[in-house]
Structure 1
Amino acid sequence: MNISIVPMSADHLDQIYQIERRAHSFPWKESIIRALDSRGACHHTLLVDGRVGGYFYAQNIVGEVSLLNIAIDPVYQGKGLGRQLLAFLLSLCEQQDAESVWLEVRASNLPAYQLYLNAGFNEVDRRFGYYPTENGREDAIIMSYFL
């Protein structure tokens, strides 16, 4: 597998939207996926042999980075690509002299939660009943990483 991580471009968006729908139980709307020019945007795409295999949407506002969305195509999950993509984000934040990275993760998403813990994120709080589920709502765990 030839892996590269590049700035997200409009050429990636059709594949990203397809992955978003396969990777998340409650995917972002297509209009949000296609909005690349938000304030402080630093969105990137992970390419596997030239095809989109994953991505993240992040926003850097005055040195505080919010990881808004990250996904690996289910076909490639479990191969370390999520760890690689997250490490790239943290390195990018260092290069941009960011002070911290913040994210929210579903309480039920134990693989992602463990990935963030292993990368050095700390749990700081919870938003109770934040995310929709098939049977109601679940908590969002707020995590931070200080550079």
Structure 2
Amino acid sequence: MNISIVPMSSDHLDQIYQIECRAHLFPWKASIIRDLDSRGACHHTLLIDGRVAGYFYAQNIVGEVTLLNIAIDPAHQGKGLGRQLLDFLLAFCEQHDAESVWLEVRASNLPAYHLYLNAGFNDVDRRFGYYPAENGREDAIIMSYFL
């Protein structure tokens, strides 16, 4: 199994959108997935044997990186790939002289929350009722990592 993490390209977008729809109850719209030129974009794709298995969308604005979206194909979850992708992001940020990384995670997404805690992120705040949920709204936990 050959794993690589490369800058996201338009060739990846169909596979990314398919994973987005499988991995998230409320997926991003295709138009957002396809926007590779947003300000400060530093989006990357995790490939296994040349096929998309995960990705992240991040934005670096004057040294403050926001992790906007991260996902591993459900068929590949539980194999440490999410941690590998997150570690890549943190190393990328360090190489590009970022000062901090910020993210929001659903309060109910305990595997992701623990992944971020174990990687060194800290809870900063909570946005009440931020995310749509099956039965109304749910909170977002805001987390940060200082390089």
Output the TM-score relative to the length of structure 1: 1.00
**Structure-to-structure mapping, 1:79-118, within 5 angstroms:** 79-118=79-118
**Residue 80 of structure 1: how far off its partner (Å):** 0.2
**Structure-to-structure mapping, 1:13-92, within 5 angstroms:** 13-92=13-92
Unaligned runs of 5+ in 1: none
Cα distance between partner residues in 2 of 1:120 and 1:92: 16
- The amino acid across from 2:72 in the alignment is I
Cα distance between partner residues in 2 of 1:73 and 1:2: 16
Moved over 2 A (4+): none
Cα distance between partner residues in 2 of 1:2 and 1:102: 30
Cα distance between partner residues in 2 of 1:24 and 1:122: 23
TM-superposition CA deviations, 1:26-67 (whole Å, max 9, x none):
000000000000000000000011100000000000000000
- The amino acid across from 1:105 in the alignment is V
SS state at 1:26 partner: coil
**Residue 122 of structure 1: how far off its partner (Å):** 0.1
**Residue 107 of structure 1: how far off its partner (Å):** 0.1
**Residue 114 of structure 1: how far off its partner (Å):** 0.2
Match of 1:123 in 2: 123
SS state at 2:11 partner: helix
**Residue 113 of structure 1: how far off its partner (Å):** 0.1
TM-superposition CA deviations, 1:104-126 (whole Å, max 9, x none):
00000000000000000000000
SS state at 2:59 partner: strand
- The amino acid across from 1:64 in the alignment is E
Cα distance between partner residues in 2 of 1:3 and 1:123: 31
Paired residues, number: 147
Cα distance between partner residues in 1 of 2:16 and 2:56: 10
Cα distance between partner residues in 1 of 2:126 and 2:75: 30
Unaligned runs of 5+ in 2: none
Output the TM-score relative to the length of structure 2: 1.00
